[in-house]
């Protein structure tokens, strides 16, 4: 800005800067949200996992991760079609997102029909309680799934893991443990929760 200040020029420059800021915020938001479900995408999940890991490590607090998979979703798509499958995923994302209440918890679409949830400062028992509510809320939706071997409605399988971050552990190790627990839930018949003890 050059003196003397011209109010018309100042107003125009401020308006331009505000427009650029709004556009930048919109682009960043779009880049970090899943286009189908509206929850966080994998990129945002990975970024927040790194931040939460560092913060929990600094504070010596527990970080919990919940991995969620929609049971027999390929069969659902085959029977009801991909448009109905998209509608199903949106409903599930909304329902799962409503279960987590704290503003610093995060639900993200992890890939395909998988979701993941970050719960900083949450011990394993707290993560399991949230997972149980997720399981119940999805079942109360009663979305028909006649080709499921588990139930005649859409169900989810959940794996939960928790740890206090340290120099010996990694965020990927925590994710791997949650994924292992998810696999155990599927092996146990699906529509259930498995967690590390």
Q: What is the pLDDT of residues 91-146, one digit of tens each?
A: 999 999 999 989 999 999 999 999 999 999 999 999 999 999 999 999 999 999 99
Task: In whole angstroms, give the CA distance from residue 146 to residue 149.
Answer: 8
* DSSP assigned state of 100: -
Burial 52-70 (b: 16+ CB within 10 A, else e): bbeebbeeeebbbbbbbbb
Give residue 184's pLDDT: 98
Residue 135 — φ and ψ, nearest 5°?
Answer: -60, -45
**Band of pLDDT at residue 19, cut at 50, 70 and 90:** confident
3-state class (DSSP) for residue 81: coil
Q: What is the mean pLDDT of the chain?
A: 93
Place of tokens 């190790």: 173
Among 174, 170, 166, residue whose Cα is nearest residue 60: 166
pTM for this model (two decimals): 0.86
Instruction: Give percent above pLDDT 70 in the chain.
Output: 94
Has residue 22 got a pLDDT over 80? no
Phi and psi (nearest 5°) for 152? -90, 15
Indicate the SS3 state at residue 156: strand
Distance of CA 77 to the CA centre of its chain: 21
- Model pLDDT for residues 34-71, shown as the tens digit of each residue: 999 999 999 999 999 999 999 999 999 999 999 999 99
Burial class of residue 29 (count of CB atoms within 10 Å of its CB; 0-12, 13-18, 19+): exposed
> How many other CB atoms are found less than 10 A from the CB of residue 101?
7
The single-letter DSSP state of residue 148 is -
Phi and psi of 102, rounded to 5°?
-75, 145
Residues 6+ apart with CB under 8 A from 141: 91, 92, 95, 153, 154
Q: Which is the catalytic residue, given 59, 113, 142, 168?
A: 113
Is residue 114 part of the annotated active site? The answer reads no
pLDDT score, position 1: 64
């Amino acid at each position: 800005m050059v003196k003397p200040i011209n109010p018309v020029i100042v107003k125009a420059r401020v308006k331009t800067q505000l427009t650029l800021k709004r556009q930048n915020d919109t682009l960043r938001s779009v880049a970090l949200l899943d286009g189908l479900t509206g929850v966080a995408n994998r990129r945002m999940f990975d970024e927040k996992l790194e931040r939460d890991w560092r913060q929990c490590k600094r504070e010596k607090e527990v970080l919990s991760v919940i991995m969620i998979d929609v049971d027999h979703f390929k069969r659902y798509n085959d029977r009801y079609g991909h448009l109905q499958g998209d509608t199903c995923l949106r409903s599930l994302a909304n329902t799962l997102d409503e279960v987590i209440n704290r503003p610093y918890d995060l639900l993200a679409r992890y890939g395909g029909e998988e979701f993941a949830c970050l719960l900083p400062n949450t011990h394993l028992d707290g993560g399991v309680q949230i997972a149980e509510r997720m399981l119940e809320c999805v079942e109360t939706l009663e979305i028909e799934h006649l080709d499921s071997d588990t139930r005649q409605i859409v169900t989810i399988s959940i794996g939960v893991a928790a740890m206090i971050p340290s120099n010996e552990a990694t965020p990927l190790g925590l994710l791997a443990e949650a994924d292992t627990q998810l696999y155990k839930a599927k092996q146990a018949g699906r529509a259930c929760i498995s967690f590390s003890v």
